């Protein structure tokens, strides 16, 4: 059997949390890739700490498993809309996809998004109905939903004849008939070998290799990852790198890596159809072609999703700056942001008039908050502004990004959700009543309308609602959207908050801090129960007297404060506020810390509004 005939290149695509990464785990474990005594953690493909904590895949990963005489290259793709740019590029590397669908949740927005991309590339699909062991599984209905989705997406006749494998990735088994008991993953391996075609490539033609993903190493510099489309490539070979701007550079392949299990292994040569990593080619970019020096033919450039959201990253200048982090200077911040561009092609970093501020643009709130969270864990201190959508001029019309929003909610919360989304300029496009007390609502909403909505949504549905969204398109702007309704409580002085000080403020709103929290002038310590900001003193202490109190001080019981996560803090921000992020703290603050400066700013804003 020829090398190419024994290869199968597949991508695993699915909506968030439908079990892609767990499925790859079991395929790896049952292929015998790990030693019998090797300690293997769950979700081995999610190597990044943040991926493990959040249970999401952020970066695409490659792995390879052996099954008999065959090598199956598997790429695990992100399921979240913010990382959709990765999905499109990965699909160029493979010949088929495993579409993983939850046997209860069925077709979700991201299922539709990733499947559309796969069908456009004319890839062969296998549907994996996962979580079949759940008592709420409804496999027959979900298969009908999947078939409808294929028809809606104009799948060709061959694609419509998709095979279905039923699986419980968690329990490590798959079967072709969900009514029969499952034993292991063999039916899925067999389906991949039978239904996914081997790469249709020519190993004897001149070299053509495309960069689909980037990695970075302190020792090797920028590392390209891609598929050899034709020909062979060897270590130390001179090649032509065909740049995005049309220029051609002569470079030498320094190292070549193949994939085996979770490891990259050094190889001397790779052939057409192989997925490989390579280094030594300078400032590589996604979509560029590496070709034979004598036959410089470029492959079509890959489309990279444009950013839709931006934030300003600023050096931390709060009174507590430098107390909790290692990296606090503008040079460190600049270097780190530009280093991120080495591997993340969907991100943009622009310098501003100020050397201390950088505009960072990304695919969504999650995309940017993952970067911020990563940086704080690396010891950075920084401040960020409220996220803003990126407007575009399209055919002379001011346009903004819109999202396809899908909400699953208990029936009795439906009215309040629709009312709130109406205020955020959302248009309902579909409604499905499941008949079990739950309703699915679909909306088209400006991306601006989603900023800050998740926290509000969880509050009004008491945590029972589920929302998912994916980028739809740029459409004409809908005008102003109301921001936060409530004002905030702002600290009047620097000091340590006291039980007495906080107790006196509890009837003014909801506190964001515990007693004993260090605060500074201009820091936001709570939410006012009115729509205006209020300057308060949470550090106030009780005047000491020699009169014994009838009720002892230690009986004071305070309400539990609202402690925000990083995402919640970013969503909560107003235009005149910053979020200060350090390795230990997430604080909200006003841009202008002193009250007289804030008053002057408000007056100027009102005056500008009156004068148009």
Q: How far apart are CA 366 and CA 359, in angstroms?
A: 16
Residues 6+ apart with CB under 8 A from 138: 103, 104, 106
Q: How far apart are CA 12 and CA 114, in angstroms?
A: 10
| pLDDT at residue 110 tops 60 | yes
Q: What is the pLDDT of residue 546?
A: 63
Cβ atoms of 25 and 42 closer than 8 Å:
yes
Mean pLDDT over residues 543-561, rounded? 67
Q: What is the pLDDT of residue 548?
A: 60
> What's the pLDDT tens digit per position in 287-304?
888 888 888 888 888 777
Q: How far apart are CA 487 and CA 529, in angstroms?
A: 7
Q: Which residue numbers belong to the known binding site for GTP?
A: 17-22, 130-133
Mean pLDDT over residues 108-115, rounded? 72
Domains and CATH numbers, the chain: 4-195 (3.40.50.300), 208-291 (2.40.30.10), 392-476 (3.30.70.240)
Give 496's pLDDT tier (boundaries 50, 70, 90).
very high
Q: How far apart are CA 183 and CA 203, in angstroms?
A: 39
**Out of 184-193, 210-219, 565-574, which region has the weakest mean confidence (pLDDT)?**
210-219
Closest CA to 168 of 80, 102, 106: 102
Q: Quick one: angle between helices 139-152 and 109-120, nearest 10?
A: 50
Query: Mapping DSSP to helix (H, G, I), strand (E, B) and coil, where does residue 467 land?
Result: strand
Query: Mapping DSSP to helix (H, G, I), strand (E, B) and coil, where does residue 584 land?
Result: coil
Q: Which residue numbers belong to the known binding site?
A: 17-22, 130-133
Q: What is the pLDDT of residue 86?
A: 66
| pLDDT at residue 337 tops 90 | yes
pTM for the full predicted model:
0.74
| pLDDT at residue 513 tops 50 | yes
| Alpha carbon 288 to its chain's center | 24
Cβ atoms of 387 and 364 closer than 8 Å:
no
Give 142's pLDDT tier (boundaries 50, 70, 90).
confident
Query: Mapping DSSP to helix (H, G, I), strand (E, B) and coil, where does residue 113 land?
Result: helix
Q: According to the per-residue pLDDT averaged within each range, which of 55-64, 71-80, 432-441 is highest?
A: 432-441
Mean pLDDT over residues 256-271, rounded? 81
| pLDDT at residue 277 tops 60 | yes
Strand segments, DSSP code E, in 353-462 are: 357-362, 382-384, 388-389, 392-394, 397-410, 427-433, 438-446
| pLDDT at residue 520 tops 90 | yes
Q: What is the pLDDT of residue 409?
A: 86
High-pLDDT (> 90) share of the chain, %: 18
The helix (run of H) or strand (run of E) holding residue 601 is helix 595-610
Give 427's pLDDT tier (boundaries 50, 70, 90).
very high
Mean pLDDT over residues 426-454, rounded? 85
Mean pLDDT over residues 265-291, rounded? 84
Whole-Å CA distances, 537 to 493, 504, 528, 595, 601: 7, 9, 13, 13, 22
> What's the pLDDT tens digit per position in 452-472?
787 778 778 887 787 777 778
């Amino acid at each position: 059997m020829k090398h190419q005939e024994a290869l199968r290149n597949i991508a695993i695509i699915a909506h968030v949390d439908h079990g892609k990464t767990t499925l790859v785990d079991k395929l790896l474990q049952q292929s015998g890739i790990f030693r019998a005594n090797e300690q293997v953690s769950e979700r081995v493909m999610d190597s990044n700490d943040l991926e493990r904590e959040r249970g999401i895949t952020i970066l695409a990963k490659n792995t390879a498993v052996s099954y008999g005489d065959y090598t199956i290259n598997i790429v695990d793709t992100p399921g979240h809309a913010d990382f959709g740019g990765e999905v499109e590029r990965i699909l160029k590397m493979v010949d088929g996809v495993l579409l993983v669908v939850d046997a209860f949740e069925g077709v979700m927005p991201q299922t539709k998004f990733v499947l559309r991309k796969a069908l456009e590339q004319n890839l062969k699909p296998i549907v994996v109905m996962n979580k079949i062991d759940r008592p709420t599984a409804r496999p027959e209905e979900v298969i009908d939903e999947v078939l409808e989705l294929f028809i809606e997406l104009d799948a060709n006749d061959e694609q419509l004849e998709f095979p279905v494998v039923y699986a419980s990735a968690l329990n490590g088994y798959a079967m072709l008939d969900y009514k029969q008991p499952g034993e292991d993953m063999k039916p899925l391996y067999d389906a991949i070998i039978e239904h996914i075609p081997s790469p249709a490539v020519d190993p004897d033609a001149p070299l053509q290799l495309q960069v689909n993903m980037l990695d970075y190493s302190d020792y090797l510099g920028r590392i390209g990852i891609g598929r050899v489309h034709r020909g062979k490539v060897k270590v130390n070979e001179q090649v032509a790198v065909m740049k995005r701007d049309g220029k051609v550079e002569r470079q030498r392949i320094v190292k070549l890596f193949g994939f085996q299990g979770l490891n990259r292994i050094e190889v001397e040569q790779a052939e057409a159809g192989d997925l490989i990593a390579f280094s030594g080619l300078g400032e590589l970019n996604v979509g560029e072609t590496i070709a034979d020096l004598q036959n410089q033919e470029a492959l079509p450039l890959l489309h990279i999703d444009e950013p839709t959201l931006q934030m300003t990253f600023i050096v931390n200048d709060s009174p507590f700056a430098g107390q909790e982090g290692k990296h606090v200077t503008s040079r460190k911040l600049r270097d780190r942001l530009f280093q991120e561009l080495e591997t993340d092609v969907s991100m943009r970093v622009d310098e501003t008039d100020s050397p201390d501020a950088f505009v960072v643009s990304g695919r969504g709130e999650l995309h940017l908050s993952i970067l911020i969270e990563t940086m704080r864990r690396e010891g950075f201190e920084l401040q960020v502004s409220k996220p803003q959508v990126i407007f575009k001029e399209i055919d002379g019309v001011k346009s903004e990004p819109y999202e396809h929003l899908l909400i699953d909610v208990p029936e009795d919360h439906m009215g309040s959700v629709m009312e709130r989304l109406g205020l955020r300029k959302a248009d309902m496009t579909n409604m499905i009543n499941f008949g079990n007390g739950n309703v699915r609502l679909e909306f088209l909403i400006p991306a601006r309308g989603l900023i800050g909505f998740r926290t509000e949504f969880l509050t009004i549905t008491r945590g029972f609602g589920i929302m998912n969204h994916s980028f739809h398109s740029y459409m004409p702007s809908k005008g102003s959207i109301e921001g936060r309704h409530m004002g905030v409580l702002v600290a009047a002085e620097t000091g340590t908050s006291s039980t007495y000080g906080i107790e006196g403020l509890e009837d003014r709103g909801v506190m964001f801090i515990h007693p004993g929290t260090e605060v500074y002038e201009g820091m936001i310590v709570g939410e006012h129960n009115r729509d205006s900001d209020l300057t308060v003193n949470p550090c106030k202490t009780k005047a000491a007297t020699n009169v014994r109190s009838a009720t002892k001080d230690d009986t004071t019981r305070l309400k539990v404060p609202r402690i925000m996560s990083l995402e919640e803090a970013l969503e909560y921000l107003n235009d005149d506020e910053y979020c200060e992020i350090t390795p230990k703290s997430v604080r909200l603050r006003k841009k202008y810390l002193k009250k007289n400066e804030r008053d002057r700013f408000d007056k100027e804003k009102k005056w500008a509004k009156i004068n148009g």
